[in-house]
A and B are shown apart, each in its own frame.
Chain A
């Protein structure tokens, strides 16, 4: 096993997270999720499987959704990283956040940050998605509590699309 803590295996990189530059000194094999949570100190992004299966760790890289558990942190240098903590505008909730509250789309809340990041990417691509497009757009995010019904409704509400 390579000792990843040796000087040769570590890098000084600067990560742009929610518009703030964070200089971090990290091992080359660190995934982005662990750096966001452990070094940058933002814990809203969750780890559910470390296997790209659950989507709880979803962040945006230059606006595209990425499972941060399976993305090398060093590769994120120079790209705009958005986490759940960067979604609000000042003290105002993003329409997706407000819609999830209003529609009852939040139960345990563990999948919620990742779900919001996927939904943001979806709406950026397609501001008026159909219910089917929402369901496909969120299919990389597992939720065990809600049965998805109210999450889909919330995304459509946030997109100001009449309910199907």
Chain B
């Protein structure tokens, strides 16, 4: 293995994505752009109350309205509880509503105006129940329960549940008591991160149409096969009668993972006997989906020697699960890992709770739990470094993991590039050079696993030599599906433009987990290479026959097959494709074999969902220069230097785009993006006017550098994942810059001007 450090700072090679022309001309179709003859409009009746018992639900008047074709409630669909880890959810509220965005009824009508009138005509009367609005209070034994029947729900065997605690996890290594006793200093910190949102610019949309007993659903999901599974489970259909097609997807960031509304719209369309279309408003985007980033409360304690050696870390955290568990059950163990951090610590005890409240359910948003945990841990780490008088960058160099080191869960890392990331990020920021007294550079490190999972693809080459890659993979904007053409072309000696992509259709392609877990290139890339390898063998056999040479001597390059050593003895791939069209067709299939989880030694995990062993871990360091107006508390990010070990970079322009976009999302999370609730657990800022995203005018210059290292169990050509990792360390680095400028950390995320100003004034809260 060769380890090379490549600093790519400007002008990455051009890569024009296959879906680019559709997107710049407006000709690309997104789900809300589709229209079908006779299509009806869907609208939902939401609870609009945090916690209540339904004492009356009457849809008679709504059903009687002209132009209304279907009104559904829980009584009109199979009585199925679903959820990937805890089966605590139903399509429609049954007896009790547990958050404001819970769906009580659904309407399909001739247009959206009539549908909304029908929704308004539905009579619902509630008996209020105690509103559980605070994570820590919900854990007390006196708290009312969000799910009094929690014990009767089906759940994954590994889960540890108790009352409002939907998933408890701990990571224990060594003897944390002894480690603390041996320390020269013990530093304790408390941090609280508010919840926030993915906010893809495209709101969700779903269109469903039945033909006979089969349904086709066009939808804005990041995970078509997961969406199909949800429809099949809740409407009790076999997988081969449900077809999920995703037109172009207008961003996701995890927010469109999981199973959302496809079954509601399919059920409406079946009753209405007409196609039905749902298009969300921005307000619905904020309140309804079970995918928003979770609020977390952190108590972190670290023991350290005078020389800066960490002897022990103890942490307790409580996360807001919201009213239903969605995919968040694994967050406990993952957040525990991120609160332990990528450090060499002999003694670790981290406990994490995922707590039911009457808030919108939490779910995977871009590197779930990691930005908040990194923000808390890395802010705490600067406090620890200050306690022993060591520069924060030097402190991280001494304590962060490196190749061959043992991490907090007892995993020994192969070749990794975290130390190089620290050097590159700090160097790129000009760390250590004098700055004006209202500016400072904060530094933070982060990590993230690569998710190695099954994935499949087919490749075919038709008689004219044109290729198709038929893949289960989903493109959400990152460009990872677009990059698959390059992998196939390389295997076959063809050009990327020789291939069209057929993707995002569960009826035509084999399984893939979807645009989630930064896994597309890692897993589907392997599948595409395997499929292309089969076609390559078929082409070589044909060429060997045609050129009267040995198959082993055939080389595929530049659109031709030739005999090694005699390039003049050649035949074009187009000609071979024509021959194949009259005989054995050129068809390949590939399936990615997941890597085994790396072993852990010396640690024990309660509530183990496999998140303590990081396959092909990715590392990062961000160094951010911040300017603070001390009179107003307004912080402005002047420059971001981001260094990443995500393995070998296959598509540099796409990789840069991932880091730049994630950094901006991190700046938003740091300074402006956070959900606030009223006393009835309703969101107070469910609109883009009140929930502020960063604009083009806010964006600083972002220096992106990659440490390209071959880590064991990485994907094709040494690539690891990338889409989530750059979203992790930015907010933490901004926090550390602010703490330098203020003299103490801002202990609540987002670090709004008001909170910064209060911290300047000495309010420690």
Contacts and interface: CB of A to CB of B under 8 A. Distances in A.
Contacts of B61: none
B478 interface: yes
Contacts of B663: 147
A51 B687 CA distance: 8
Contacts of A100: 20, 24
A109 B340 CA distance: 37
B30 A46 contact: yes
A5 B248 CA distance: 33
Nearest to B477: A108
Interface stretch (B197-205, B399-407, B626-634): B197-205
A15 interface: no
Interface stretch (A60-68, A71-79, A149-157): A149-157
A83 B27 CA distance: 12
7 cross-chain pairs, A with B, having the tightest CB-CB distances, nearest first: A44-B26, A109-B23, A108-B477, A110-B250, A147-B660, A84-B26, A53-B688
Nearest to B253: A144
Contact of B201 (A54, A97, A103): A54
Given A139-B695, A139-B696, A142-B201, A109 B248 contact: yes
A148 B21 CA distance: 19
Contacts of A49: 282, 687-688
A82 B718 CA distance: 46
A93 B27 CA distance: 12
The interface centre, meaning the residue of A4, A106, A111, A145 with most chain B CB atoms within 10 A of its CB, is A145
B213 interface: no
Interface string B649-693: 000011011011111110000000000000000000001110001
B4 interface: no
Interface string A136-148: 1011111111111
Nearest to A138: B696
Given A87-B25, A138-B696, A147-B699, A108 B281 contact: no
A9 interface: no
Nearest to A116: B24
Contact of B25 (A37, A97, A103, A111): A97
Given A54-B688, A108-B201, 4 more contacts: A43-B32, A108-B250, A144-B693, A146-B657
Contacts of B489: none
A126 interface: no
A53 B689 CA distance: 7
Contacts of B477: 107-109, 145
A50 B699 contact: no
A115 to B, nearest CB: 9
The interface centre, meaning the residue of A85, A109, A134, A147 with most chain B CB atoms within 10 A of its CB, is A147
B513 interface: no
Interface of B: 12, 14-17, 19-30, 32-33, 113, 199-203, 248-253, 279, 281-282, 476-479, 653-654, 656-657, 659-665, 687-689, 693, 695-699, 701-702
29 contacts: A47-B32, A49-B688, A51-B689, A85-B25, A85-B27, A87-B26, A93-B25, A103-B653, A104-B15, A106-B17, A106-B24, A107-B479, A107-B657, A108-B477, A109-B19, A109-B20, A109-B28, A109-B248, A109-B250, A112-B24, A113-B26, A135-B696, A139-B696, A142-B201, A145-B477, A146-B664, A147-B659, A147-B662, A148-B664
Contacts, number: 179
Contacts of B19: 109
Contacts of B25: 44, 84-85, 87-88, 93, 97
A6 to B, nearest CB: 13
A48 interface: yes
A87 B25 CA distance: 8
Contacts of B659: 147
Nearest to B704: A149
A107 B478 contact: yes
Contacts of B250: 46, 108-110
Dominant SS among interface residues on chain A: loop
Contacts of B253: 144
Given A142-B688, A145-B477, A148-B699, A43 B33 contact: yes
Contacts of B21: 93, 101
A140 B32 CA distance: 22
A102 interface: yes
A142 B687 CA distance: 14
Contacts of B17: 101, 104, 106
A136 B664 CA distance: 16
Nearest to B252: A108
A136 B16 CA distance: 27
A75 B476 CA distance: 36
A56 interface: yes
Contact of B251 (A37, A107, A134): A107
Nearest to B666: A147
A98 B696 CA distance: 20
B274 to A, nearest CB: 18
Contacts of B702: 147, 149
Contact of A108 (B199, B202, B697): B202
Contacts of B16: 101-102
Given A43-B29, A50-B281, A104 B665 contact: no
Contact of B199 (A46, A101, A138, A144): A144
A136 B281 contact: no
A153 B138 CA distance: 49
Contacts of B662: 147
Contact of A48 (B282, B654, B698): B282
A45 interface: yes
A40 interface: no
B293 to A, nearest CB: 14
A123 interface: no
The interface centre, meaning the residue of A87, A101, A149 with most chain B CB atoms within 10 A of its CB, is A149
A145 B251 contact: yes
Contacts of A51: 282, 687-689
Contacts of A88: 25
B699 A144 contact: no
A42 interface: yes
A105 B249 CA distance: 16
Contacts of B660: 146-150
B201 A56 contact: yes
A55 B17 CA distance: 24
Contacts of A148: 660, 664, 695-696, 699
A142 B16 CA distance: 22
Nearest to B32: A47
B360 to A, nearest CB: 18
A148 B30 CA distance: 22
B22 A109 contact: yes
A101 to B, nearest CB: 5
Given A53-B688, A109-B248, A112-B24, A104 B699 contact: no
B601 to A, nearest CB: 40
B696 A101 contact: no
The interface centre, meaning the residue of A97, A108, A136 with most chain B CB atoms within 10 A of its CB, is A108
Contacts of A102: 14, 16
Contacts of A5: 113
A60 to B, nearest CB: 13
A95 to B, nearest CB: 11
B657 A145 contact: yes
Contacts of B698: 139
Nearest to B697: A139
A163 B25 CA distance: 25
A97 B24 CA distance: 6
A111 B201 contact: yes
Contacts of A140: 695
A98 to B, nearest CB: 8
